[in-house]
Amino acid sequence: MTDPERLQIDDVDRKVLARLSEDCRASYRQIAQRCNVAVGTVLARVKRMEKAGIIKGYSALLDHEKLGYELTALTEITVSKGKLVEMEQAISKNPNVCAVYDITGLTDALVVAKFRNREELSRFTKAVLALPFVDRANTHLVLTTVKEDFRLP
């Protein structure tokens, strides 16, 4: 959506989004009760926000460490010859990758990925370095996760 077409979000929408962020399995009836609105209002708001792409999908919050993904890596990547988009599309296909960002500063992109062990991280790093137009990759390992929650308040 371009800016003029951007969906306007009001307080009711924010309340509905907050409830969905807390528990995406909540029924429309439960959400309506918590937001003090009619069930039909919740249904209409959710459908409208899905259509506008504000709600992209629904998922559970997972404890990655309990699932065996004990390593979180942040990889800064420097790309040559203006091939940033192509490199990011290739990296985005890796199942270990959680996020890919264009960033400002000395590097071009930042990749957040999770791995079960050093071997997986090593394979990923070597695959990144083998991509065409990747000049440099600098990987940081997370020692302690203080907060990891991409839900908005």
In angstroms, what CA-CA distances link 50 with 43, 86, 137, 139?
11, 28, 36, 36
What is the set of domains in the chain, with CATH numbers? 3-51 (1.10.10.10), 71-141 (3.30.70.920)
At 149 the pLDDT is 87
Residues in the chain predicted with pLDDT less than 70, given as ranges, are: 1-5
Q: Has this prediction a pTM greater than 0.75?
A: yes
At 15 the pLDDT is 94
At 2 the pLDDT is 43
What gap in Å lies between CA 25 and CA 5, rounded to an integer?
A: 30
